[in-house]
Amino acid sequence: MTERRAKLVASVTGLHFAALQLGAFLSVESVSSSAWATYAALSSAWLGGTLAGLWLTLPARPAILGGLLAFEGLLVFARLAPWSRGLFVFGVAAVAVGGLWAGGFFVRAARRRATDGVFLHENNGFLLGLVATPCAFAFGGRTALAALPLATCALIFGLDPTLKQARKETP
């Protein structure tokens, strides 16, 4: 993978993380609670998932797809059972699963000795996601919220050819 492409992958990954994290927050808070405790629990779940992802040896593809699946599952849950008490618990679990790859991604970059600029480019992508996600939600509703991580995930797999060989990789 060229250096330029690696930067692009890091940026799209940052965008993906923002879409997952903010998307989950908006989805839970719209039909559950906007209390500080909800925000703190969801933020802690993301950070906890990231911490776990740093130390677990995660295969890339299942980790990315697992996070995406958990997120889409959360959106479906919120649609089917709004105002349900279980939504908060499901939300915390889904956000934590999404956060796993936020840790795994950086370890993968380190394993490839590609840490130069990885924080910068990932953060730039996250910044873009901070704008894109609320705009998608405001103008496209929960459908756009669900579509955005699907698109970013497809982009990540499209841009990073090494992910297709991930199964063959030794951790």
- Summarize as ranges the residues that interact with another protein (CB under 8 A): 26, 29-36, 38-40, 43-44, 47-48, 50-51, 54-55, 82-85, 103, 106-107, 109-111, 113, 115-117, 119-120, 123-124, 126-127, 130-131, 134-135, 137-143
Which residues, in sequence order, are CB contacts of 62 under 8 Å at separation 6+?
none
Least gap, CB of 167 to another protein (angstroms)? 20
Nearer to another protein, 68 or 87 (CB): 87
Angle at which helices 118-159 and 60-80 cross, to 10°: 80
Least gap, CB of 35 to another protein (angstroms)? 5
Closest CA to 46 of 2, 91, 98, 4: 98
Nearer to another protein, 68 or 78 (CB): 78
Nearer to another protein, 131 or 158 (CB): 131
**In angstroms, rounded to a whole number, what is the distance separating the alpha carbons of residues 149 and 111?**
25
Nearer to another protein, 43 or 158 (CB): 43
71 CB neighbour count, 10 Å cutoff? 27
Structure-token match 């059972």, residue found: 81
Query: Tokens standing for 132?
Result: 């894109």
Closest CA to 134 of 55, 6, 49, 19: 19
6, HSE (Cβ side, Cα atoms, 13 Å):
18
Least gap, CB of 133 to another protein (angstroms)? 10
Least gap, CB of 112 to another protein (angstroms)? 9
Least gap, CB of 70 to another protein (angstroms)? 20
Nearer to another protein, 112 or 158 (CB): 112
